[in-house]
Amino acid sequence: MKKAPMVQSELFLWHILFYAVRNGEALRIAQDNLDSRNFYACNPSFDKNCGRRK
């Protein structure tokens, strides 16, 4: 028995939404962990031209 096309597309959208939320949560946790260890791509107090374009 096949599911109706509308039900399949709704399930697919929920699937995408679920994983997008999970990836967003994982990214936020990773950023928080890096911030807690003072790990930055550039440190303004150390790098004189941090974030400035030349």
- Residue 4 has a pLDDT of 62
Q: Rounded to an integer, what distance in angstroms lies between the CA atom of residue 15 and that of residue 4?
A: 17
* Angle ∠(10,25,18) on CA atoms, nearest 5: 10
- Residue 52 has a pLDDT of 66
- Residue 11 has a pLDDT of 85
Tell me, what DSSP letter sits at residue 41? S
Give the global pTM: 0.48
Residue with tokens 């096309």: 5
pLDDT in single tens digits along all 54 residues of the chain: 666 666 778 888 888 888 888 888 988 888 888 777 666 667 667 777 776 665
